[in-house]
Amino acid sequence: MLIRDEVSEDIPTIGRLVTEALRMLAQSTGTEAGIVEKLRADDALTLSLLAEEAGEVVGYLAASPAQVGKQGGWGLIGPLVVLPSKHRQGIGSALMTEALGRLRKTCIGAALVGDPGYYGRFGFQAFPGLRVTGCPPEVVQALPFGGEEPSGELIHHKAFGLNQ
């Protein structure tokens, strides 16, 4: 498996992959590929990584700048998607491992909204003061790289349609 940065030729494939992979989730709004497009248009993709097997794109991870309260310097991970036919083969883990390695060089921590059972294996956890309005607190998670506990609203890029 190859983990690599996106190139312009990948953009249509990324949109299809994000839509297909998230279609099966109850919380999916169908707008997730559009979020990635808006992040790209605003030059707000800190990371745009693809997992490729035998020339086929099988996974994708995006990261964008975020704030926790008034503290900038956070990397927001999402979406992280894998083709449904390729689940449980380590693709998502490989993308996350690469992303965290890269974000550690430029960010004070990583944050996301997602399943604690999955993301906990990478060190993500909920913190009492960390929140996203309207989200259950256990799904709002962070991985500080320095040790300071994050506290405040996790502020996403405007492409996510939150914090407006």
85-109 pLDDT per residue, tens: 888 889 999 999 999 999 999 999 9
What is the residue whose two structure tokens read 């996790």?
Answer: 154
In the chain, the largest separation of any two C-alpha atoms, in whole Å, equals 44
Which residue from 50, 145, 156 is spatially nearest to 100, judged by alpha carbons? 145
138-160 pLDDT per residue, tens: 999 999 998 788 999 998 888 88
25-74 pLDDT per residue, tens: 555 555 678 788 999 999 999 999 999 999 999 999 999 999 999 999 99
Tell me what percent of the residues of the chain surpass a pLDDT of 90: 68
Residues paired with 113 in a beta bridge:
140
pLDDT attached to residue 10 = 92
Residue 74 and residue 143: Cα distance in Å, rounded? 10
Q: How many CA atoms lie within 13 A of 45 on its CB side?
A: 19
Domains of the chain: residue spans and CATH: 2-160 (3.40.630.30)
pLDDT attached to residue 164 = 42
In which band, very low, low, confident or very high, does the pLDDT at 112 lie, cut at 50, 70 and 90?
very high
Query: Considering the chain, what is the average pLDDT of its residues?
Result: 90
What HEC string does the chain produce? CEEEECCHHHHHHHHHHHHHHHCCCCCCCCCHHHHHHHHHHCCCCCEEEEEEECCEEEEEEEEEEEEECCEEEEEEEEEEEECHHHCCCCHHHHHHHHHHHHHCCCCCEEEEECCHHHHHHHCCEECCCEECCCCCHHHEEEEECCCCCCCEEEECCHHHCCCC
pLDDT attached to residue 74 = 96
Chain centroid to CA 42: how far?
A: 17
